[in-house]
Amino acid sequence: MTAKTYALDEVEALAQRVLEGAGASAQQAGAVARATRLAERDGIRSHGLMYVPVYAEHLRCGKVLGQAAPQVATPRPGAVHVDAAHGFAHAAIDAGWPAFERAIRAQGIAAMAVFRSYNCGVLGHHAERLAVAGLVGLCFTNAPASMAPVGGARPVIGTNPFALAVPDGAGGARLVIDQSASAIAKSEIILRAREGQPIEPGWAIDADGAPTLDADAALAGSMLPAGGQKGFGMGLMVELFAAALSGGNLGIDASPFSGPKGGPPGTGQFFIGVDPGAFDAQHFAASVERLAGVITDQAGARLPGARRAANRARIEAEGVRIDAALMDRIISA
């Protein structure tokens, strides 16, 4: 299949153009286009250009309101509350970010909740944004229900990832943990279904609760939690922060992120930022370095986020390969 290489600037410009063409404002499209660039830069295909036709479809059918104007409130000194107004989560997060960062530095710790929101892309990028500013970031986002409790078959919560990033003291992130409560990200199963490929054992069950390797049956059934009951508990924690505390819809009440059915999903995000300088910055930095060293000194071991960092260096130099079929889907979106 024919493929061409594109620079990251071209990737971002393409996403912006397509999203504006589908009805998004420059603010809404710009925030998503930047996130698309970051996903492609880090080799996270499932959240990059592959998602742009879905975003465009959701703009046209009203699942996302492209002209939404996020509203930012600061009800307490350490609290920022953002109404995404059923627009893209990325634009709402950007709108609340200056007040959020000011609150972290003033208080030592602060939180930002986003509601009436949508898929926020790669959650780890939001945590990393805090680490780059010299802060510790802990982030949560919920999603439409796709995961049943252990022993059940009816989905109750989404894949519900959390992300943690810590600064390296030099304007970057020393490590980034970004993981879902499910055994695998739902986007990976969607990708396998689109390509007609089987999924791996332990990823999902079908609608009757039986194990399956069929991607379509998995999408009609339930994702499996990572680590059984422990993974489901982690996902439930995310649901409480990102939906119950933020004011967003529970996963059981949210419309799917894929397909045109249903109105806006109205999900939520919750971000916690900590300034190490408010506690013991020197000890924190030394502890992070000691932990990192003990991990990386072991042959075959790597820090969380190391693979993304390696992809980033390579793709920034080489560009992004986009096959003709994907480009056709993007251009016709």
User: CA 263: distance to chain centroid?
Assistant: 20
Other beta carbons within 10 angstroms of residue 255's beta carbon come to 18
| Cβ neighbours of residue 259 closer than 8 Å, sequence gap 6 or more | none
* Long-range contacts at 302-308 (CB < 8 A, ≥ 24 apart): 303/174, 303/175, 304/175, 304/176, 304/177, 304/178, 305/124, 305/128, 305/165, 305/173, 305/175, 305/176, 305/177, 305/178, 306/175, 307/43, 308/42, 308/43, 308/44, 308/124, 308/176
188 catalytic, yes or no?
Answer: yes
Structure tokens at 321: 């390969």
**DSSP annotation of 81:** E
Expressed in percent and rounded to 5, the helix, strand and coil fractions of the chain are 45, 20, 35
- Torsion, Cα of 144, 149, 152, 156 (10° steps): -20
Of 47, 58, 86, 90, catalytic? 47
Q: Which of 40, 101, 128, 188 is catalytic?
A: 188
- Residue pair 145/158 in contact (Cβ under 8 Å)? The answer is yes
Euclidean distance between CA atoms 240 and 247, whole angstroms: 10
Residues acting as catalytic residues: 46-47, 188
